[in-house]
A and B are shown apart, each in its own frame.
Chain A
Amino acid sequence: MIGVVGTVPDQDFPLVTGETRLKDDSIYIQGKQILVNRGTPALLAAAIKTAQVLDQGAPFGYLVGDVGLGHGSRRLYEYLSGHLGKRDFNTIVFHYLQPDVDWHNRVLFAIEEMERRPVLIADAGFMYAAKMSGQSPKYDLFTPDIGELAFLADEEAPHPFYTRGFILHEKNRAPELIARAYTHKNAARCLLVKGKQDYVADREGIQATINSPLEEAMEAIGGTGDTLTGIVTALIGTGMEVARAATIAARVNRVAGFYAKPTPATQVMDIIQQIPTAFAKVLGENEEGELWEKQS
């Protein structure tokens, strides 16, 4: 079973845990309904859709309301540090939480108490906390966008907005930034860098580049990075090797975007609905040569 940890943009939303369900454009968990637009609900919706395609069980969610003040995040950190050690997941993804190094470390301690160590994935605010704590190598996968990659690569920066000298729209510095993130031990075992080109990389360098189909409008649509993280989480939950799952997920997310015929005004649920069709297309392709290019 996979676990999904994150927040929803509603200050009054209580801390809930349980199996998740997707119906129409809403997530249901512990009797609560959450509209999917972006953030962790979008990640969950994509993970649920993917799990359905792969005939896997629904993700187990840990969600709390947080509008950015961090109160909900801290309650969830506290809950996790007290409860996670007794749970059994093969994969856990941590997502939109207010970065807090101390609480992050306590959650890691709880994970070390688990009987079976799960595959650990971090994105968004929790990835920031992981990097800031200096414990990035304990994670199996980070899923940064190019700005967040610059943040990982800067051994001093506390936040993507304050990276030193890394101008976000400079052309294709991803290979250099990936190398620097690994040099300073600020990367997970594997990186899935989301952007105009998606990269799958590890300490040895870039292992795959995924750049088609390219839909320019996807950059404007909120939540498309969240859906990619959701898809890769569900794939890893099947036991698939991390880099391979990342490569397939990047391709599926792009094909789902293509099938949604997106404009900059498209909402992410329209893309999530296309995930089953995208999987059918991608799994029908030749896995050896046509899906992605391995860099020499």
Chain B
Amino acid sequence: MSFLGFLKSRKKKHKTSSDPGRGILGFEHTSEVIKAENVLKKAGWDIRVMGPPPEIRSGCDLVIEIPLIQELNILRTLENVGTPPMKVVPVSSPLLQPVDLFQNKDFGKYLMIRAANMKLTVEKETGTIVNISGGGCPDVPYLASKMVGMSLNEAPSPREIGHTLCGYALQLAYEEMRRR
């Protein structure tokens, strides 16, 4: 193969979702994933939170997709904050693509924002969170009990107190609501 042909084949391979240059970090608890995501994003790494591929799925967990070439540096960063992953898996099959679009519903006095399966409703005038609905993970009732009745500025963010993908989806709705 010519050098140009080699470059072309490499470029093509990097466009696929089963790119061997990407890897997955698996953690014991979803809350550790959220913490690791915060740390790695602050450190400027090109990472993203995904759903686990079928071969390593184990419930309501998240995984972090990383550039495999930076594995050692990323692991060092996580070990320094006490959140090492349980396993590192090279991406060898297509990953699932997350749904990350918002839907808004204006009730006049209230605004509801939906992110994936979670819905956050706020009284516009006061910014008070009046309802949270959707989601089937066991942290949803907990998140609602801590957030409903509080203003957007006072309420804890789902990222801080949530533990599951439902909490993560609620975080997206919460960020979108605050942005407005």
Contacts and interface: CB of A to CB of B under 8 A. Distances in A.
Given A157-B51, A220-B121, A101 B136 contact: no
Interface stretch (A22-30, A122-130, A232-240): A122-130
A128 B105 CA distance: 27
Contacts of B52: 158
Given A70-B29, A158-B51, A167-B99, A38 B144 contact: yes
Given A99-B59, A160-B117, A222-B148, A68 B163 contact: yes
Contact of B97 (A123, A145, A164): A164
B59 to A, nearest CB: 4
A96 interface: yes
Interface in A59-91: 66-70, 72-73
B151 interface: no
A147 B117 contact: yes
Nearest to B133: A222
A162 B98 contact: yes
B130 A265 contact: yes
Contacts of B141: 7-9, 37-41, 96
B60 A159 contact: yes
A216 B112 CA distance: 11
A124 B118 CA distance: 13
Interface residues of B, number: 54
B45 interface: no
Interface in A118-136: 123-125, 127-129, 132
Interface residues of A, number: 60
A1 B59 CA distance: 30
Contacts, number: 189
A161 B135 CA distance: 9
A162 B99 contact: yes
B119 A160 contact: no
A217 interface: yes
Nearest to A156: B54
B96 interface: yes
B10 to A, nearest CB: 27
A128 B109 CA distance: 35
B144 A222 contact: yes
B155 interface: no
A68 B139 contact: yes
A239 to B, nearest CB: 28
Contacts of B75: none
B81 interface: no
A264 interface: yes
Contacts of A265: 110, 121, 123, 130-131
A255 to B, nearest CB: 19
B90 to A, nearest CB: 19
A46 B67 CA distance: 49
Interface stretch (B18-26, B35-43, B165-173): B165-173
B2 interface: no
A55 to B, nearest CB: 30
B107 A216 contact: yes
Contacts of B54: 156, 158
13 contacts: A68-B167, A97-B138, A98-B138, A100-B58, A129-B59, A148-B136, A161-B98, A162-B165, A219-B133, A220-B112, A263-B109, A264-B109, A265-B123
